[in-house]
């Protein structure tokens, strides 16, 4: 299977001022495109060449895993953002957040802390664990909770290329602004699909 860079559901400048068009040009147009192109070259002629991206993330190692996971993580990340996002969850997801974190504010604090305190590059995640509970985790490099049997719902990219053009070395400022773009309708749907 040959993977292609999907079209974003919004214009490159649609997330401004939180995330600039220049950041999207590099982050999506260069970094994500490179992960996909590298992955296609790496899996050609291997037993993985007809697998889905999720299947490759779950079972590959080394360079194939790194490129597959980064490709998947970035698609997951960018397709949860919207210029006119619903800023708080509702319904079943809100009830689960209140149950597992005590409040939406406590969840946001835990998630932002996971992203801000990760040493080096990587990802912060909200996932559903094997027991059906919500959990916030962090992981370096191309880490993905699917490798541990969890189902991802929300992620924040904390590689420097995600924020450096707009926020320089101020990762906590980037994470504070990130909440302006999270479309909770998307996250609610992801959660409901796990039930």
Q: What is the pLDDT of residues 88-138, one digit of tens each?
A: 999 999 999 999 999 999 999 999 999 999 999 999 999 999 999 999 999
* pTM for the full predicted model: 0.96
Boundaries of CATH 3.55.40.20 in the chain?
Answer: 91-192
CATH of domain 21-78: 1.10.287.990
Start-end ranges of CATH 1.10.287.990 in the chain? 21-78
Choose the CATH number for 91-192 among 3.55.40.20, 3.10.580.10, 3.40.50.720, 2.60.40.3140: 3.55.40.20
- Residue 115: both structure tokens together: 């992203």
**pLDDT, one tens digit for every residue, the chain (195 residues):** 799 999 999 999 999 999 999 999 999 999 999 999 999 999 999 999 999 999 999 999 999 999 999 999 999 999 999 999 988 999 999 999 999 999 999 999 999 999 999 999 999 999 999 999 999 999 999 999 999 999 999 999 999 999 999 999 999 999 999 999 999 999 999 999 999
């Amino acid at each position: 299977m040959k993977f292609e860079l999907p079209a974003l559901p919004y214009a490159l400048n649609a997330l401004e001022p939180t995330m600039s068009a220049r950041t999207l040009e590099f982050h999506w147009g260069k970094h994500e495109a490179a992960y996909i192109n590298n992955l296609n070259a790496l899996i050609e002629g291997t037993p993985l060449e007809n697998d889905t991206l999720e299947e490759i993330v779950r079972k590959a190692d080394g360079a194939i895993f790194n490129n597959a996971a980064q490709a998947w993580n970035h698609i997951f990340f960018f397709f949860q953002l919207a210029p006119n996002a619903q800023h708080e969850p509702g319904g079943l997801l809100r009830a689960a957040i209140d149950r597992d974190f005590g409040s939406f504010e406590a969840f946001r604090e835990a998630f932002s802390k996971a992203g801000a305190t990760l040493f080096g590059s990587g990802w912060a995640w909200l996932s559903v664990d094997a027991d059906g509970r919500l959990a916030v985790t962090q992981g370096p490099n191309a880490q993905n909770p699917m490798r541990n049997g969890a189902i991802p719902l929300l992620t924040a990219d904390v590689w420097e290329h995600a924020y450096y053009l707009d926020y320089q070395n101020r990762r906590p400022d980037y994470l504070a602004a990130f909440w302006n773009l999270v479309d909770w309708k998307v996250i609610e749907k992801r959660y409901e699909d796990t039930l």
